[in-house]
């Protein structure tokens, strides 16, 4: 009689122990720890050194800034004011426009770039890209842009465009046909608010709209590899004029290897050296 009772108790005990082990070892629902090797650290935040300060016209709502063959060109926007969308050749020592044209008030001008003596100027929500001759600012073409235009630069072969997102678009300069696009990662997330662009020695540098950063992007890896903090100069211009807007404008003079930055309505433009 004891054997008949004892054997079932052993079986029950074994089943209970096995169930307990299963419950303890069951993974938690919806919790997945990503492999450590797939984690990408955020890019380093670096500083800069101001080398020289130049005057900048406070009526310029700067959208595009670029050097070409040693000369400075600037594009502006802001449809809230008549005649504020302009394309200009600017004297960096005085901040004055040496040559300019104004666009119709229905256009909000955005970024500019120059490739093979040809100027390209984006518009924001009007879906138009204007193409001009460098010598006399004569408009020779218009292209259709599928979406908003923010910043534009070139790598010597392709036009590179931002739309305020975290994606860079690559276009054929002769037809404005979309060749490819890249989603740019910052750490483990897609970056955002890419605005004015400049191509320097294999990297795309981008103002991050509404933030005090210039992002250094490796276009081949589609990744932000460094961030440069402009807080000090933004605070400086706000102390001069509280009505200034965000940093926007990166220009590289390939003849002197110098980098210049400014912002919307800023009273100054800066020659800077970026930190390493």
- Residue boundaries of the structural domains of the chain: 49-274
Query: Tell me, what's the pLDDT at 117?
Result: 98
Q: In degrees rounded to 5, what are phi and psi of residue 104?
A: -55, 150
Q: What b/e readout covers 125-164, taking b as 16+ CB neighbours within 10 angstroms?
A: ebebbbbbebeebeeeeebebeebbbbbbbeeebbbbbbb
Are residues 108 and 79 in contact, defined by beta-carbon separation less than 8 angstroms?
yes
Are residues 62 and 248 in contact, defined by beta-carbon separation less than 8 angstroms?
yes
Sign of the torsion angle spanned by Cα atoms 161, 125, 131, 272: negative
Query: Tell me, what's the pLDDT at 4?
Result: 38
Q: What is the dihedral of CA 50, 55, 61, 63, to 10 degrees?
A: -50
Q: pLDDT band for 36, please (50, 70, 90 cuts).
A: low
Question: pLDDT tens, 81-120?
Answer: 667 899 999 999 999 999 999 998 889 999 999 999 999 9
Instruction: State the average pLDDT over residues 195-223.
Output: 98
Determine the 3-state secondary structure of 23 from DSSP. helix
Q: What contacts 199, CB < 8 A, 6 or more positions away?
A: 153, 154, 155, 156, 160, 205, 252
pTM given for the model: 0.86
Q: Which residue blocks in 98-221 are alpha helix, DSSP H?
A: none
Averaged pLDDT of the chain: 89
Question: pLDDT tens, 135-188?
Answer: 999 999 999 999 999 999 999 999 999 999 999 999 999 999 999 999 999 999
CATH number for the segment(s) 49-274:
2.120.10.30
- β partners of residue 97: 90
């Amino acid at each position: 009689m004891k054997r008949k009772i004892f054997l079932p108790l052993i079986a029950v005990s074994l089943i209970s122990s096995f169930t307990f082990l299963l419950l303890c070892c069951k993974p938690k629902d919806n919790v997945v720890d990503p492999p450590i090797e797939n984690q990408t650290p955020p890019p380093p935040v670096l500083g800069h050194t101001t080398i020289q300060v130049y005057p900048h016209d406070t009526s310029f709502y700067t959208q595009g800034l670029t050097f070409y063959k040693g000369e400075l060109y600037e594009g502006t926007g802001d449809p809230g004011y008549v005649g504020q969308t302009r394309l200009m050749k600017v004297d960096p020592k005085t901040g004055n426009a040496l040559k300019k044209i104004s666009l119709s008030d229905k256009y909000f001008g955005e970024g500019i770039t120059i490739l093979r003596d040809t100027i390209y100027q984006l518009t924001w929500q009007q879906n138009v890209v204007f193409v001009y001759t460098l010598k006399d600012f004569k408009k020779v073409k218009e292209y259709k842009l599928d979406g908003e235009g923010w910043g534009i630069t070139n790598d010597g072969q392709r036009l590179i465009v931002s739309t305020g997102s975290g994606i860079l678009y690559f276009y054929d300069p002769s037809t404005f046909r979309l060749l490819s696009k890249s989603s740019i990662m910052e750490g483990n997330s897609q970056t955002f608010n890419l605005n004015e662009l400049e191509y320097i020695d294999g990297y795309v540098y981008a103002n991050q709209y509404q933030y005090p950063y210039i992002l250094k992007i490796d276009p081949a890896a589609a990744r932000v590899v460094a961030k440069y903090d402009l807080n000090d100069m933004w605070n400086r211009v706000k102390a001069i004029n509280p009505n200034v807007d965000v940093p926007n404008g990166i220009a590289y003079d390939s003849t002197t290897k110098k980098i210049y930055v400014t912002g919307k309505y800023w009273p100054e433009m800066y020659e800077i050296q970026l930190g390493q």
